[in-house]
Amino acid sequence: MVPENTSSQSIADLRDFPITRKWPPVHPDRLQLYAFGTPNGVKIPIALEELGIAYEAHRVPLSDENVKSNEFLSLSPNNKIPAIIDTEGPDGRPIGIFESAAILMYLGDKAGRLFGRNARERYEIMQWLMFQIGSVGPMFGQFGFFYAFGGKDVQDPLPKQRYLDEVKRILCVIDQRLDGRTWIAGDYSIADIAIGPWLQTIPRFYKADAETGLDQMPRAMAYIESFSARPAVIKGWDVFSA
Ligand SMILES: N[C@@H](CCC(=O)N[C@@H](CS)C(=O)NCC(=O)O)C(=O)O
């Protein structure tokens, strides 16, 4: 049973976070999510949907007036989405977290799901999570910039080629890893929630299946299909698409 004062207590707790002045909570009892519909941004609503954690999503467009505002920087000092506030942190006190992998580990711990059943499984998941943060995200993101977005008219072919080579190499790592596996690290986990949205961007947003060689990688293609069919994944993307 929810104590009567939960709502007013949650509002008071959230007032300590300057970000709530620019993005006021309507449902202060829920976990507050600050993100946008990008591969990094959707990881968190996907995880929250998978775990059945109630949340309130605040749209934070990537313009400077949003991500570089003092209010946003107070929670996410590297001016990147996603970030969260949970009024019920591990010690019962409110906690703010930025960096998607840190948030995913937090949520996995909070729910006791999607983050392995023992230390060995957790380290296996963590290494693939770090692989996404250190390699997949930055390289795919730069490739997308030069191939499909702001940098596509740059005359010098070197930047696009450099990131394309890296994307191809990383896709091969993933495709080989998926040999005999459905998911990247044992059962479906937060590692898949980190990697899946980035793989989806190749066909969906970059339209680069052929250029990257993805269309010749049946295991990676099947993985994208399985990931994309999950209701939580569909819902996670929908949160910011309207
Ligand atoms: N390592 C970060 C990367 C986050 C990131 O790159 N976010 C982008 C959107 S996908 C962003 O907020 N860009 C805004 C900016 O750089 O000004 C994470 O995983 O949380």
Best of 40, 104, 107, 140 for a ligand 1 pocket test (most atoms within 8 Å of beta carbon): 40
User: How far, CA to CA in Å, does 51 sit from each of 111, 129, 138, 195, 209?
Assistant: 7, 18, 27, 17, 31
CA–centroid distance, residue 145 to ligand 1 (Å):
13
In the chain the domains, ranked by start, together with CATH numbers, are 6-113 (3.40.30.10), 119-235 (1.20.1050.10)
The pTM (predicted TM-score) of the whole model is: 0.96
The Cα–Cα gap between 103 and 43 comes to 9
> Bridge partners of 137?
none
Helix 190-201 to helix 137-147 angle, to the nearest 10 degrees? Answer: 10
Tokens representing 39?
């591969």
The pLDDT value recorded for residue 125 is 98
CA–centroid distance, residue 140 to ligand 1 (Å):
12
CA–centroid distance, residue 179 to ligand 1 (Å):
30
Q: What is the pLDDT of residues 221-241, one digit of tens each?
A: 999 999 999 999 999 999 999
Q: What is the pLDDT of residues 51-65, one digit of tens each?
A: 999 999 999 999 999
Q: What is the pLDDT of residues 168-226, one digit of tens each?
A: 999 999 999 999 999 999 999 999 999 999 999 999 999 999 999 999 999 999 999 99
User: How far, CA to CA in Å, does 122 sit from each of 94, 95, 101?
Assistant: 25, 22, 13
CA–centroid distance, residue 36 to ligand 1 (Å):
10
For ligand 1, atom 5: residue with the closest CA? 80
> Where would I find the H helices in the chain?
6-15, 19-22, 39-51, 64-67, 70-73, 100-111, 119-131, 137-147, 158-177, 190-201, 209-212, 218-229, 231-238
pLDDT over 70 for what percent of the chain?
97
Contact 93, 100 (CB under 8 A): no
Peptide bond before residue 82 is cis, with ω within 30 degrees of 0: yes
pLDDT higher than 80, residue 21: yes
Tokens representing 172?
């091969």
Residues lining ligand 1, CB < 6 A?
A: 38, 40-41, 62, 67, 79-82, 99-100, 133, 137
Tokens representing 1?
């049973």
pLDDT higher than 70, residue 2: no
CA–centroid distance, residue 164 to ligand 1 (Å):
20
Counting from 1 in the atom list of ligand 1, the atom nearest the Cα of 68 is 17
Of residues 57, 84, 62, the one with CA closest to residue 235: 57
> Bridge partners of 57?
33
Counting from 1 in the atom list of ligand 1, the atom nearest the Cα of 100 is 20
Task: Name the pairing type of β-strands 31-35 and 83-86.
Answer: antiparallel
For ligand 1, atom 11: residue with the closest CA? 80
For ligand 1, atom 12: residue with the closest CA? 80
